[in-house]
Amino acid sequence: MKIAMVSPTRESERAISGYSVTLTENIKKTETDIEDVSYVAGSPMSFLKMIPKLKKYNIVHIQHEYNLLGYYGLPFFLVYLILGFNKNNKIITTMHNILSKKEKFKENKLKIFLRRVLYLSQNKLINWASDLIIVHSDFFVPILTKEYNISSRKIIVVPQGIIENVKKIPKDKAKKELKLSGDVYLVIGNLTPDSGADIPLKYADKIGKTVLVVSSPIPVNDRKKQRLKEYLNFLEGFVKKKKSEKYVRFDIKPISDQMPIWWVYFSAADFVLQAYRGGIGSGIFAHAMAAGTPVVSSDIPFFKDIEKRYGCIKTVKNEKDFPRIIKEALKQKNYKKMKGESERYLKERGLSSIAKEYKKIYLSLR
């Protein structure tokens, strides 16, 4: 049984691609015959040229996100039609995000209508072509079953696997390397308005030193370059306007999870702050757990779903409560518990454990 793990190249996209590569590496350790097969994100032609290579595989496992091929997601219609009519492969689709019909958009009515039709049609096509659909969180399941009428028998929930054995260093040493002292609250990643990075900055004087903002000027998705640049400029201007410079530090430079300094930031942090306004998952949360760093977040469904099972995260319903929740979580007894729960999360959802779940799934399709 040969399996193809289909995802973008690391050069063209650095979120899903990175996860796919590390997942494949761990699945191989379970004595499963699996290979990475990649295409260029934003290039439908590169995907179409890759399709003939998939004939030699028994299972094709696609890592999906609506706009990975660009052009408003339209190329995926052709991709799934071709794959769906090919009876030689079993198709598994991991849906990294699933748009609820209840999602509200700030666009004109025609654009909203077209967007909803696009997602509805693509989800139906994915359902038709796929033998199994994998999601990373329980809250996706009712969206697929109740809103898109996809059978629950076809859906499997597999948590996002956490990288194991990352190169952490002692917190004091990490803070010294970064020229930091005292408590550190890390806001890191590909920062756009949806990340809510401005929310902790709004309350930085109440949170206290140091709110550390770390981002690369080069986005995970190159098609968002201008949006990222504008938001980072806004954040820096916002801090100056609030006169909060003594509470906030910006480290804006090329950085990725493939660089050792990435893990130095996580090692130095007392908390990772994720005040997301929307979204349906978080690679940054996964990296926080890999480093054993607790998280304080907004109460979007993804984070609330985790909070039900693990004490490694505290969600905040009202943004003005971020300072209070952080200070409460910093108390020695509470912080010790959150650190312990972060370790439990990694133990139970590390990639070596998740890889074994995937092996069982692949074997079920033989």
Domain that holds residue 195: 171-349
User: Beta-carbon neighbour count of residue 27 at 10 Å?
Assistant: 25
Interval 291-325: pLDDT, tens? 999 999 999 988 999 999 999 999 999 999 999 99
CATH classification of the domain holding 97: 3.40.50.2000
> Does some domain include residue 154?
yes
Q: What was the pLDDT predicted at 127?
A: 96
CA dist., res. 114 & res. 105, Å (int) = 12
> Does some domain include residue 220?
yes
> Does some domain include residue 95?
yes
CA dist., res. 246 & res. 240, Å (int) = 10
Question: Are residues 121 and 189 located together in one domain of the fold?
Answer: no
Q: What was the pLDDT predicted at 87?
A: 76
Given the DSSP bridges, would you call strands 34-39 and 3-8 parallel, antiparallel or unpaired? Answer: parallel
User: Beta-carbon neighbour count of residue 176 at 10 Å?
Assistant: 13
Interval 70-126: pLDDT, tens? 888 889 999 999 999 887 899 999 999 888 877 776 667 777 777 788 888 999 999
Q: Please give the tally of structural domains in the chain.
A: 2
CA dist., res. 134 & res. 161, Å (int) = 13
pLDDT of residue 62 exceeding 70: yes
Looking at the DSSP assignment, which residues form a beta bridge with residue 273? Answer: 296
Question: Are residues 142 and 184 located together in one domain of the fold?
Answer: no
Q: What was the pLDDT predicted at 106?
A: 67
Question: Are residues 69 and 107 located together in one domain of the fold?
Answer: yes
Question: Are residues 209 and 332 located together in one domain of the fold?
Answer: yes
Q: Give, in order, the Cα–Cα distances in Å from 262 to each of 4, 232, 251.
A: 29, 18, 11
Q: What was the pLDDT predicted at 221?
A: 56
Q: What was the pLDDT predicted at 97?
A: 85
Looking at the DSSP assignment, which residues form a beta bridge with residue 313? Answer: 295
> Does some domain include residue 82?
yes
Q: Give, in order, the Cα–Cα distances in Å from 284 to each of 67, 104, 287, 303, 358.
A: 20, 24, 5, 12, 22
> Does some domain include residue 252?
yes
Question: Are residues 61 and 153 located together in one domain of the fold?
Answer: yes
Q: What was the pLDDT predicted at 280?
A: 64
Q: Which of 88, 157, 102 is nearest to 349 (CA)?
A: 157
The answer to whether 283 touches 19, Cβ cutoff 8 Å, is: yes
> Does some domain include residue 182?
yes
Q: Rounded to the nearest 5°, which phi and psi values hold at 240?
A: -65, -40
CA dist., res. 37 & res. 166, Å (int) = 25
Q: What was the pLDDT predicted at 272?
A: 98
Question: Are residues 104 and 38 located together in one domain of the fold?
Answer: yes
Task: Please report, in angstroms and rounded to a whole number, the separation of the first and last CA atoms in the chain.
Answer: 8
pTM: 0.87
Question: Are residues 150 and 295 located together in one domain of the fold?
Answer: no
> Does some domain include residue 166?
no
Question: Are residues 333 and 355 located together in one domain of the fold?
Answer: no
Interval 210-258: pLDDT, tens? 999 999 887 655 456 777 889 999 999 999 999 999 999 999 998 888 8
Question: Are residues 80 and 214 located together in one domain of the fold?
Answer: no
Question: Are residues 184 and 124 located together in one domain of the fold?
Answer: no
Q: Rounded to the nearest 5°, which phi and psi values hold at 278?
A: -160, -165
The answer to whether 124 touches 151, Cβ cutoff 8 Å, is: no
Q: What was the pLDDT predicted at 333?
A: 97
The secondary structure element, H or E, covering residue 297 is: strand 295-298
> Does some domain include residue 191?
yes
Q: What was the pLDDT predicted at 14?
A: 78
Question: Are residues 31 and 180 located together in one domain of the fold?
Answer: no
Interval 158-201: pLDDT, tens? 999 999 999 999 999 999 999 999 999 999 998 888 899 999 99
